[in-house]
Chain A
Amino acid sequence: MILLPLLGSLLVFAIPSALGAARIKSIAFAIFGIVFALFVTAAMQFQINATDQFQLVESYEWITAFGVSWSVGVDGLGLVMLGLVTILVPVVLLAAWRDVADDAVGKFYGLNLLLQSVVIAVFVATDLFMFYVFFELMLVPMYFLIGRYGVGDRRKAAVKFLIFSLVGGLILLAGVISLWVQSLRITEIGSFNLEFLSTLGLNIETQRWLFVAFFIAFAIKAPLVPVHSWLPDAAQSSTPAVAVLLIGILDKVGTYAMLRFLLPLFPEASAELAPVALTLATLSIFYGALMAIGSKDMKRLMAYVSISHFGFIVLGIFAFTTQGISGAMFYMFSHGLSTAALFLAVGYLMQRTGSSEISDHAGAFQITPLLAGLILFGGLSSVALPGLASFIAEFTVLLGTFARYPILAGFATLGIVVAAVYALWLYQRTMTGHPSDAVSGIKDVSGREVIALSPVIALTLVLGFVPQLAFDLLNPTSEKVMQQVSQVDPAALIDGEN
């Protein structure tokens, strides 16, 4: 499953552009289709009530000198994230059908296939070394996608993205090596195996240091305030499609890794330092929302919205309740969907008017009612309107947080109010009123553009009404995480289990 898009990307790179853009695209989509089929097969084999944490496990020795193995396996969380990757990448590319010039199609699709294979590897790795390798490797295709196909001051944004990520990555490297040395000292076996490492029983002092190293790396990736400043720049300078990949998928690796590695590996330190993480999360919720209100550029606005949403996710994770963690995981999935819906719909608009300034647009509703509808849907989905997946996610996170930290949760709830302001105000300023020069004469969305968004919209609605589908997968994982950090749900919550 990892190898297929990788081989595909090599294939697409190798195809001469003379073959014609259309054929390259069809080959790429055929590969995406097969990858998705593989994902579905994997999902069918997955058993919800299995006792082992990871299923569909494969493991081969890789570098025995360091005890590195090529180990893959999925749990509920991993499976859900894989679903997100395999669905979102083709959706995004379908929406971005005409984003790149015909002679650059081969490279563009090649980079995307490469990105998909690397991200899949990140989500299935159960070996810390393997995870790290692919965690860093994600940067390469993304860097080129921003720097080469972006708009505006894209080089600066790409470099800023890369430097932030690399600094985080190198701090993580220091942590990874130290952890390996610890395992060598304690058990005389140097290993990167996740389950093995989580049974080491590190003392609290060591845990604290390593927690900080890992947390910084993942917080940069997520991103949390105060290490978020690369995201608005990167999003503004990317095409909407690349921005969705960046925010909707790549950044999820940060929060995913907190659940997969940070909590199980350093349980005591996680509990001890949770207040720090919670504070940063709450700060992100408000900072992101307020900055979104003040943004003049639509892509910047959406990037800040995401920072706010990542705040919710981290809040859910560090609340240490089953509900909070399940909610956070659900949020990660639904946020991918709502990001895609909003970014791509707004992207359609920007492509038509050639501007991403909010002030250039007004009254688009009269000209392009269907597009306005899509944007409204995206906006409401990111405000968490009941009936949509994001509502369930936000609600569960807040419920889970409330059980342990009622004041913090109450405070965070205010974030929803602010969210309504930025989303509705965006809609009001761009869609209603008298049509501006830029929007007059543009065409409404085409069939392809609607088809591209339809899976996202459908999933948002389905999960909005039947969230149990996902929670059945996620709950065992969050219970496992709770066990690993030796936390129990506060008494008030036991009855309210969803």
Chain B
Amino acid sequence: MMIPTQVFLQPSIDWFVISPFTILLGAGVVSLLIETFAKRSMRRPLQLLLVFTSLVASLAMTAMLFGTQTLTAGDAVAIDGPGIALQAIIALVAIIGAAGLAENKVDPSGDAFAARASAIPGSSDERAFTQAGWYSTEIWTLFLFAVGGMQLFVVANDLLTMFIALEVMSLPLYLMAGMARRRRLLSQEAALKYFVLGAYSSAFFLFGAALVYGATGGINFDDIAFAIPTRPQMSTLLVTGVVLILVGMLFKVGSAPFHQWTPDVYQGAPTTLTAFMAAGVKVAAFGAMMRLVYSAFGSLIWDWRPILWAVTLITMFVGVFVALVQSDIKRMLAYSSIAHAGFIMVGLISGTNAGIISILFYLTAYAFTTLGIFLLVSLIRDASGEASGIESWRGLASKSPITALSITFLMLALAGFPLTSGFIAKFSIFASAIQAEQTPLVLLAILASAIAVVFYLRIVVLMYFRRSESDEVAVAIPSNFTIIALVVSILMTLILGVYPQPLFDLLAQSPLFIR
């Protein structure tokens, strides 16, 4: 194919509509400057101020942009209904997640991150830094870039922008996952595993993007969608490319059989980070994946649907069956998140507007519930740090009734009990899939939910019906950061379960992807 010689024209950029994520990326740069120039004692307050201001500004911008539909930056960014909704969800999740990360009362020696990540675990340096009361304030720089990357990820309108956003989102998270204050070797191992597998899946994504470019002659989603029906002779190349891109995405959402990193990373990373990661990455990756399969590859639905069908099935059942036998609460929640990825994919497969709305609702509901449950996990501690072994939760209800009640409520939400957001979310996903003639898949998903109830309730049984064997495990009293984060997550789970109509109204106003 002849590539016409072109003069490079600077694309016009509508700075206003892309402000949600540019605010955050800009704040990331400022945060780096704070890290460099501010006094050590000033860093933490300054960083927190910056993080919360920029996140609120970003959230406010998404609210102002509500209803906008436009392409900008040379069609590389598509601002549309689902995109803005996803950006808003990510901003909200990040605000609550940041509140969790800012917690510094639970651990006697500081926040959840190593005093200095570069100190060798167990060395005298490490002890010295810890005693000096240092904080790794650079996590806030990383955090801002990760959130900015997520927000770009969900509005990216060509394969390259999407790839760059993917990396901007992932790289800081790889680093942060390795920076836990306690059990540092486990944390570093998890980070390495996350990084290696993540890099591997990025390679899949890139290779797939190259094949799709080869098949369609474009990387922009509009060009791709336009070219697909015109080039039937390229279909093998195209479908191979699509499958490779999907592999890259499925890794990020944590679908089986690309899920192996999830339990290790969820367990090894600092729990407050796990809370943010489990919620935020899931929202961003599903958002981007939705745009990809609906917008660019919408006309290939008959090709990707059977593949995703099989992946969904494996994901749901691997998630619920393996979760049944976990002895660590964080690993159990990791497998539960895999199962939830499967449920969300049921909505993806329906391929309808109802499907998009139900996925957006599910992501919102799931994000808040997940944040809440992981933050609660981070409060239950013994002398060596978090007590995340399931058995150590015995008799928690008699030690702290409120914590046990909150955990029970969130577990019921994850299990999909009525009057929690989890029920409405599952209901809308299943309803959209049955409407799209996917009844067998829904029946299997319902079976998987039935199995899932067993391991969620196991926790409740342990907390309420068993006697505690030791007094070592106790619930730490957190600072206001975590309390506010928890109250918001639990209230959202309740409100979205009892009166979900306002959110459905918002989402239904502009459910279409533009390209």
Taking CB as reference atom, which chain B residue is nearest A179? B434
Whether B431 lies near A63 (C-beta < 8 A) is no
Whether B419 lies near A133 (C-beta < 8 A) is yes
Whether B431 lies near A181 (C-beta < 8 A) is yes
- B 452-470 to A, binary, CB cutoff 8 A, 1 in contact else 0: 0110010001001100000
Taking CB as reference atom, which chain B residue is nearest A209? B439
Whether B454 lies near A181 (C-beta < 8 A) is no
Taking CB as reference atom, which chain A residue is nearest B434? A181
A171 partner residues in chain B, CB cutoff 8 A: 446
Q: Is A136 part of the binding interface, using a Cβ–Cβ cutoff of 8 Å?
A: yes
A61 partner residues in chain B, CB cutoff 8 A: 501
B454 partner residues in chain A, CB cutoff 8 A: 163
Taking CB as reference atom, which chain A residue is nearest B424? A63
**Stretch in A80-88, A140-148, A355-363, A466-474 with 4+ CB within 8 Å of B:** A140-148
B442: which of A162, A166, A174 is its contact (CB, 8 Å)?
A174
- A137→B419 CA distance, assembly (Å): 8
Taking CB as reference atom, which chain B residue is nearest A147? B465
Question: How many residues of A sit at the interface, in one of the four size bands?
Answer: 20 to 34
Q: Is B235 part of the binding interface, using a Cβ–Cβ cutoff of 8 Å?
A: no
Interface residues of B in 462-492 (CB under 8 A from A): 464-465
A148: which of B418, B449, B464, B499 is its contact (CB, 8 Å)?
B464
Whether A137 lies near B435 (C-beta < 8 A) is no
Taking CB as reference atom, which chain A residue is nearest B412? A140
Which of A144, A163, A171, A181 counts the most B-chain CB atoms under 10 A from its CB? A181
B504 partner residues in chain A, CB cutoff 8 A: 63-65
Contact A177-B434, Cβ < 8 Å, known A66-B428, A133-B418, A137-B417: yes
- A133→B427 CA distance, assembly (Å): 11
Whether A140 lies near B443 (C-beta < 8 A) is no
Whether A170 lies near B461 (C-beta < 8 A) is no
Whether A177 lies near B430 (C-beta < 8 A) is yes
Taking CB as reference atom, which chain A residue is nearest B497? A133
Q: Is B300 part of the binding interface, using a Cβ–Cβ cutoff of 8 Å?
A: no
Q: Is A458 part of the binding interface, using a Cβ–Cβ cutoff of 8 Å?
A: no
Whether A184 lies near B435 (C-beta < 8 A) is yes
B428 partner residues in chain A, CB cutoff 8 A: 65-66
Whether A166 lies near B450 (C-beta < 8 A) is yes
Q: Is A298 part of the binding interface, using a Cβ–Cβ cutoff of 8 Å?
A: no
- A174→B465 CA distance, assembly (Å): 31
A163 partner residues in chain B, CB cutoff 8 A: 450, 453-454
A137 partner residues in chain B, CB cutoff 8 A: 417-419
A136 partner residues in chain B, CB cutoff 8 A: 417-418, 423
Interface residues of A in 151-176 (CB under 8 A from B): 154-155, 158-159, 162-163, 166-167, 170-171, 173-174
Whether B412 lies near A65 (C-beta < 8 A) is no
- A286→B505 CA distance, assembly (Å): 54
- A148→B500 CA distance, assembly (Å): 32
- A95→B431 CA distance, assembly (Å): 45
Taking CB as reference atom, which chain B residue is nearest A184? B435
B461: which of A65, A132, A134, A155 is its contact (CB, 8 Å)?
A155
Interface SS of B by simple majority: helix
B450 partner residues in chain A, CB cutoff 8 A: 163, 166-167, 170
Whether B442 lies near A64 (C-beta < 8 A) is no
Q: Is A180 part of the binding interface, using a Cβ–Cβ cutoff of 8 Å?
A: yes
- A271→B23 CA distance, assembly (Å): 65
Taking CB as reference atom, which chain B residue is nearest A174? B446
A147 partner residues in chain B, CB cutoff 8 A: 461, 464-465
B430 partner residues in chain A, CB cutoff 8 A: 173-174, 177
Whether A148 lies near B501 (C-beta < 8 A) is no
Q: Is B508 part of the binding interface, using a Cβ–Cβ cutoff of 8 Å?
A: yes
- A161→B412 CA distance, assembly (Å): 16
Whether B418 lies near A62 (C-beta < 8 A) is no
Whether B508 lies near A65 (C-beta < 8 A) is yes
For residue A183, give the distance in angstroms from its CB to the closest CB of chain B. 11
- A251→B431 CA distance, assembly (Å): 28
- A238→B418 CA distance, assembly (Å): 25
For residue B508, give the distance in angstroms from its CB to the closest CB of chain A. 7
Q: Is A178 part of the binding interface, using a Cβ–Cβ cutoff of 8 Å?
A: yes
For residue B77, give the distance in angstroms from its CB to the closest CB of chain A. 29
Whether B431 lies near A177 (C-beta < 8 A) is yes
Whether A159 lies near B457 (C-beta < 8 A) is yes
Interface residues of B in 190-204 (CB under 8 A from A): none
Q: By the criterion of a CB under 8 Å from any partner CB, how many residues of chain B are at the interface? A: 32
Taking CB as reference atom, which chain A residue is nearest B426? A173
For residue A459, give the distance in angstroms from its CB to the closest CB of chain B. 33
For residue A239, give the distance in angstroms from its CB to the closest CB of chain B. 15
- A137→B418 CA distance, assembly (Å): 6
For residue A346, give the distance in angstroms from its CB to the closest CB of chain B. 26
- A280→B465 CA distance, assembly (Å): 36
For residue B348, give the distance in angstroms from its CB to the closest CB of chain A. 18
Taking CB as reference atom, which chain A residue is nearest B466? A155
Which of A62, A64, A65, A137 counts the most B-chain CB atoms under 10 A from its CB? A65
Whether A66 lies near B431 (C-beta < 8 A) is yes
Contact A173-B417, Cβ < 8 Å, known A63-B500, A147-B461, A178-B434: no
Whether B446 lies near A65 (C-beta < 8 A) is no
B443: which of A66, A167, A174, A180 is its contact (CB, 8 Å)?
A174
- A132→B443 CA distance, assembly (Å): 17
Whether A63 lies near B446 (C-beta < 8 A) is no
For residue A247, give the distance in angstroms from its CB to the closest CB of chain B. 22
B427: which of A64, A66, A178 is its contact (CB, 8 Å)?
A66
Whether B457 lies near A162 (C-beta < 8 A) is yes
Whether A140 lies near B417 (C-beta < 8 A) is yes
Whether A159 lies near B461 (C-beta < 8 A) is yes
For residue B342, give the distance in angstroms from its CB to the closest CB of chain A. 16
- A 452-478 to B, binary, CB cutoff 8 A, 1 in contact else 0: 000000000000000000000000000
- A133→B422 CA distance, assembly (Å): 12
B505 partner residues in chain A, CB cutoff 8 A: 65
- A448→B417 CA distance, assembly (Å): 39
Whether A148 lies near B446 (C-beta < 8 A) is no
B435 partner residues in chain A, CB cutoff 8 A: 181, 184
Whether A65 lies near B418 (C-beta < 8 A) is no
Interface residues of A in 172-219 (CB under 8 A from B): 173-174, 177-178, 180-181, 184
A134 partner residues in chain B, CB cutoff 8 A: 418
- A459→B239 CA distance, assembly (Å): 73
A167 partner residues in chain B, CB cutoff 8 A: 450
Whether B418 lies near A132 (C-beta < 8 A) is yes
- A158→B454 CA distance, assembly (Å): 12
- B 495-515 to A, binary, CB cutoff 8 A, 1 in contact else 0: 000011100110010000000
Contact A62-B501, Cβ < 8 Å, known A170-B449, A174-B442, A181-B434: yes
For residue B379, give the distance in angstroms from its CB to the closest CB of chain A. 22
- B 36-47 to A, binary, CB cutoff 8 A, 1 in contact else 0: 000000000000
For residue A181, give the distance in angstroms from its CB to the closest CB of chain B. 5
A63 partner residues in chain B, CB cutoff 8 A: 424, 499-501, 504
Whether B442 lies near A177 (C-beta < 8 A) is yes
B419 partner residues in chain A, CB cutoff 8 A: 133, 137
- A77→B295 CA distance, assembly (Å): 53
- A220→B283 CA distance, assembly (Å): 38
For residue B502, give the distance in angstroms from its CB to the closest CB of chain A. 10
- A61→B505 CA distance, assembly (Å): 14
For residue B461, give the distance in angstroms from its CB to the closest CB of chain A. 6
A178 partner residues in chain B, CB cutoff 8 A: 434, 439
Whether A65 lies near B501 (C-beta < 8 A) is yes
Whether B501 lies near A173 (C-beta < 8 A) is no
User: What are 8 inter-chain pairs, A to B, with CB distance below 8 A?
Assistant: A137-B417, A144-B464, A158-B461, A163-B450, A166-B453, A170-B449, A174-B442, A177-B442
Give 9 closest A-B pairs by Cβ, nearest first.
A65-B504, A133-B418, A181-B434, A136-B418, A170-B446, A170-B450, A155-B465, A63-B501, A177-B431
Given contacts A63-B424, A65-B500, A132-B418, 12 further A-B contacts (CB under 8 A): A63-B504, A65-B508, A133-B423, A136-B417, A140-B412, A144-B464, A148-B464, A166-B453, A167-B450, A174-B430, A177-B427, A178-B434
Residues of B participating in the A interface, judged by any CB pair closer than 8 Å: 357, 412, 417-419, 423-424, 427-428, 430-431, 434-435, 439, 442-443, 446-447, 449-450, 453-454, 457, 461, 464-465, 499-501, 504-505, 508
